[in-house]
Amino acid sequence: MVAVRTCIGSRRRAPRSSLLRVVAQGDGRVVADPKAVMPGRGAWLTPTVEAYELAVKRRAFRRALRLDREPDTSAVLEYLRRLPEAEPRLAEQIDAEEHQDTTEQAERLMDN
């Protein structure tokens, strides 16, 4: 079974492997955790500038990370801007994975 998480920006559910984990640090900064191994409370974000901007607009970083004030998320934005353009587009990849999962589930039900 594939681990699924929800993006704090777009609110779309996606496989954990296609999202970026972000972590709140004690100094009020939020940083990218691409390997998803850093200690502390984390949240999941679609690794696009658009999803980041939605999360900032919705004040989702503060809420998801349970912080007392708006955090400094500039390190996350810098990380996202350094990422190469994903091919195929992430949304298309997620849709394809969801379709594959649904197809496999339907085939299993029909076999039983």
Q: Whole-model pTM?
A: 0.73
- pLDDT on residue 84: 82
User: CATH code at 8?
Assistant: 3.30.1230.10
Q: For residue 61, is it within any domain?
A: yes
For the chain, what is the domain count? 1
Q: For residue 108, is it within any domain?
A: no
Q: Which has more confidence, 25 or 92? A: 25
Q: For residue 100, is it within any domain?
A: no
Cα 43 to Cα 111: distance, rounded to the nearest angstrom: 38
Is pLDDT of 8 > 70? Answer: yes
Is pLDDT of 72 > 80? Answer: yes
Q: For residue 31, is it within any domain?
A: yes
Average pLDDT on 71-76 reads 97
Q: For residue 48, is it within any domain?
A: yes
pLDDT digits (tens, 9 = 90+) for 11-20: 999 999 999 9
- pLDDT on residue 1: 84
Q: For residue 112, is it within any domain?
A: no
Q: What's the domain range around 48?
A: 4-85
Q: For residue 104, is it within any domain?
A: no
